[in-house]
């Protein structure tokens, strides 16, 4: 029988759905594994999104695309953290299967608008139009329907990683098309001169400012770098954070491998 599915039937963004419901959404960062297995593992472990980090890794765009397509078909949202604000990175990766872009080091509303322009079609943005969409299983649908659906489903995440960016959180949150203001705690602490001091009250004050800006403008506040500090993460969630990057796959593997080695070495020999 012919497939009568509509474009809307074929594409979902589980991350966006969970956030729209006001629930906590979790993303797994990928920095080392460049095969599709990692998308399957993230889904099996209960994550809502997978975030392929091309800023801090040497994973290729081709490998990122394959991971994204696998995630799409599993029902987990594929995000890609681009290495720069150059529009061609976002354009290519969205065409290849990503359903969201994470833009690092966004320090102003103008930079946020540039990211939106790269991720959204006209009239909101300037995203170039590809002829085939893995998001829709390469099926043909009316052009206006496809553009509207992809714009609605594509998540735009801007990272605030300096005190200057946090100072401008309100104007950044006001930018149409931005969905999540994601505070990178590790880089922010470095920029504040308190590297690794996640319990410092000055960091909490920075998160509070971002969370308040998000509430005023109907955006989502995010937190990264705090996966190993649950007591701090709890405070940020109470402030209003709803999008969390829980950590990266390599750190998880090392932690589990270390734990297993420690356990085995503690076993008695007799």
Structure tokens at 57: 């890794």
Q: What is the DSSP string of 107-124?
A: -SHHHHHHHHHHHS-TTT
Q: How far is CA 240 from the centre of its chain?
A: 17
Task: Rounding to the nearest 10 degrees, give the CA dihedral for residues 188, 235, 156, 174.
Answer: -90
CA angle 103, 108, 111 (to 5 degrees): 50
Q: What is the DSSP string of 107-167?
A: -SHHHHHHHHHHHS-TTT--PPPPS--GGGTT----HHHHHHHHHHH-EEEEEE-SHHHHH
**What does the alpha-carbon distance between residue 114 and residue 34 come to, in Å, rounded to a whole number?**
28
Positions annotated as catalytic residues are: 56
Count of Cβ atoms closer than 10 Å to residue 266 Cβ: 7
Count of Cβ atoms closer than 10 Å to residue 149 Cβ: 19
**What does the alpha-carbon distance between residue 183 and residue 104 come to, in Å, rounded to a whole number?**
10
Q: HSE-up of 78 (CA within 13 Å, CB side)? A: 29
């Amino acid at each position: 029988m012919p497939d009568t599915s509509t474009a809307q039937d074929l594409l979902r963004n589980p991350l966006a759905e969970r956030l729209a419901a006001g629930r906590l959404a979790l993303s797994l960062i990928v920095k080392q594994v460049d095969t599709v297995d990692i998308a399957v593992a993230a889904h099996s472990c209960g994550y809502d999104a997978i975030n392929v980090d091309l800023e801090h890794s040497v994973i290729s765009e081709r490998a990122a695309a394959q991971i994204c397509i696998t995630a799409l078909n599993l029902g987990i949202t594929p995000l890609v953290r681009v290495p720069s604000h150059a529009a061609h990175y976002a354009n290519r990766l969205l065409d290849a299967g990503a359903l969201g872009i994470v833009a690092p080091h966004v320090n102003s509303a103008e930079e946020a608008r540039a990211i939106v322009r790269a991720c959204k079609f006209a009239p909101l943005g300037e995203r170039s139009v590809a002829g085939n969409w893995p998001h829709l299983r390469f099926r043909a649908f009316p052009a206006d329907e496809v553009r509207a659906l992809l714009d609605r489903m594509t998540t735009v995440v801007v990272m605030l990683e300096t005190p200057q960016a946090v100072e401008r959180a309100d104007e950044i949150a006001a930018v149409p098309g931005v969905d999540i203001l994601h505070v990178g705690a590790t880089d922010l602490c470095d920029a504040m001169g308190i590297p690794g001091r996640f319990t410092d009250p000055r960091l909490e004050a920075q998160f509070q400012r971002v969370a308040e800006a998000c509430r005023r403008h109907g955006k989502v506040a995010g937190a990264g770098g705090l996966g190993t500090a649950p007591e701090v993460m709890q405070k940020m969630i109470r402030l209003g954070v709803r999008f969390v990057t829980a950590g990266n796959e390599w750190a998880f593997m090392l932690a589990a491998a270390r734990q297993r080695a420690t356990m085995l070495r503690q076993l008695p020999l007799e």
